[in-house]
């Protein structure tokens, strides 16, 4: 009973804080993309603090992160938590995100400000046009990390689904380094909203693939690399139980 109460309380605080900080700090965040990112990173720090106090959840970031030159980040997606970790860890992140999120107040406003692009998951034609638009906009940018979730949705730890080809389209079109990222964040904070006491949420920057070597890599390689390490991180975490 106490565990359920803690889960509900922590979730309510985290999402209420999103609204409170988002509204209170928007006059500052709206002045520039840089200031908007500062507010977002401050919110991430606040969430990590709440998770530490309530559940003793630790955030771990492994591997070599991108600098602020333009790049693409291809990441496993299990939870709102891995989104927050990438938002906090990357210098200038922007996401390819599902169109349903465009209707969420505050979150969508901040997402647009930092340059996120919406795609409609179940409409291939609209998704393709949105991806082309993102490529056109990104081609003019010399900085920032464009994050794409190749699965197109959150998965539970240990689950594998088919990867979409959008990451290869971005890689071929933008001619920028591609970073492969694994995670087990869904163990610490599941897609159903449950938190795990004394857990570690890890995000691992596995590999940087230069555009000049793109012919050596395909979607199967990307998927196997990310999935294998995500499973390893998951196994390490559940082995403690």
Per-residue pLDDT tens digits for 82-126: 999 999 999 999 998 876 766 778 888 999 999 988 776 665 666
Per-residue pLDDT tens digits for 180-238: 999 999 999 998 889 999 999 999 999 999 987 666 788 999 999 999 999 999 999 88
Residue 138 inside a domain? The answer is yes
Q: Please tell me the predicted confidence (pLDDT) of residue 124.
A: 65
Q: Is the Cβ–Cβ distance between 178 and 209 less than 8 Å? A: yes
Give 184: exposed, middle or buried? Use CB within 10 Å, 0-12, 13-18, 19+.
buried
Q: Who's near 20: CB < 8 A, 6+ residues apart?
A: none
Q: Please tell me the predicted confidence (pLDDT) of residue 17.
A: 96
73: left (phi over 0), alpha (psi -120 to 50) or beta: beta
Q: Domain span at residue 143?
A: 55-238
Q: What is the C-alpha separation between 54 and 237, in angstroms, rounded?
A: 19
Q: Please tell me the predicted confidence (pLDDT) of residue 123.
A: 59
Question: In terms of residues, how long is the chain?
Answer: 241
Helix, strand or coil, per DSSP, at residue 68: coil
Strands 71-75 and 58-63, how do they pair? unpaired
Q: What is the C-alpha separation between 218 and 223, in angstroms, rounded?
A: 9
Q: Please tell me the predicted confidence (pLDDT) of residue 3.
A: 67
Q: What is the C-alpha separation between 169 and 146, in angstroms, rounded?
A: 13
**Encoding tokens for residue 128?**
């393709």
User: Is residue 127 scored above 80 in pLDDT?
Assistant: no
Helices 166-174 and 124-139: crossing angle in degrees, nearest 10, is: 30
Q: Among residues 77, 80, 226, which one has the least CA distance to residue 154? A: 77
Instruction: Please report where in the chains the tokens 């401050």 appear, as a residue.
Output: 42
Helix, strand or coil, per DSSP, at residue 58: strand
Per-residue pLDDT tens digits for 24-79: 999 999 999 999 999 999 999 999 999 999 999 999 999 999 998 899 999 999 99
Distances (CA, A) of 130 to 21, 34, 103, 105, 113: 29, 24, 17, 21, 17
Q: What is the C-alpha separation between 237 and 209, in angstroms, rounded?
A: 28
Residue 47 inside a domain? The answer is no
Residue 3 inside a domain? The answer is no
Residue 162 inside a domain? The answer is yes
Torsion, Cα 92 56 76 22, to 10 degrees, reads -40
Residue 30 inside a domain? The answer is no
Q: What is the C-alpha separation between 44 and 56, in angstroms, rounded?
A: 16
Residue 185 inside a domain? The answer is yes
Q: What is the C-alpha separation between 151 and 164, in angstroms, rounded?
A: 6
User: Is residue 164 scored above 80 in pLDDT?
Assistant: yes
Q: What is the C-alpha separation between 106 and 217, in angstroms, rounded?
A: 38
Q: Please tell me the predicted confidence (pLDDT) of residue 114.
A: 94
Total count of domains within the chain: 1
Q: Is the Cβ–Cβ distance between 101 and 108 less than 8 Å? A: yes
pTM of the model: 0.92
Residue 217 inside a domain? The answer is yes
Residue 44 inside a domain? The answer is no
CATH number of the domain that residue 212 is part of:
3.40.1130.10
User: Is residue 178 scored above 90 in pLDDT?
Assistant: yes
């Amino acid at each position: 009973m106490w565990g359920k109460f803690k889960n509900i309380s922590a979730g309510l605080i985290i999402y209420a804080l999103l609204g409170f900080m988002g509204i209170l700090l928007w006059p500052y965040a709206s002045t520039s993309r840089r200031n908007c990112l500062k507010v977002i990173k401050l919110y991430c720090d606040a969430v990590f603090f709440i998770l530490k106090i309530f559940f003793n959840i630790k955030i771990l970031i492994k591997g070599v992160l991108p600098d602020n030159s333009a790049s693409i980040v291809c990441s496993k997606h299990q939870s709102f938590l891995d989104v927050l970790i990438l938002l906090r860890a990357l210098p200038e992140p922007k996401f390819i995100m599902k169109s349903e999120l465009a209707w969420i107040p505050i979150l969508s406003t901040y997402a647009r400000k930092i340059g996120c692009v919406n795609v409609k998951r179940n409409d291939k034609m609209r998704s393709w046009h949105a991806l082309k638009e993102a490529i056109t906009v990104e081609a003019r940018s010399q900085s920032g990390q464009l994050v794409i979730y190749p699965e197109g949705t959150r998965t539970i730890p240990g689950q594998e689904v088919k990867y979409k080809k959008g990451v290869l389209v971005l890689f071929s079109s933008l001619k920028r380094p591609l970073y492969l990222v694994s995670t087990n964040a869904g163990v610490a904070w599941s897609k159903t909203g449950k938190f795990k006491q004394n857990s570690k949420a890890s995000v691992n920057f596995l590999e940087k693939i230069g555009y000049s070597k793109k012919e050596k890599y395909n979607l199967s390689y990307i998927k196997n690399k990310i999935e294998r390490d995500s499973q390893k991180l998951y196994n390490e975490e559940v082995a403690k139980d």
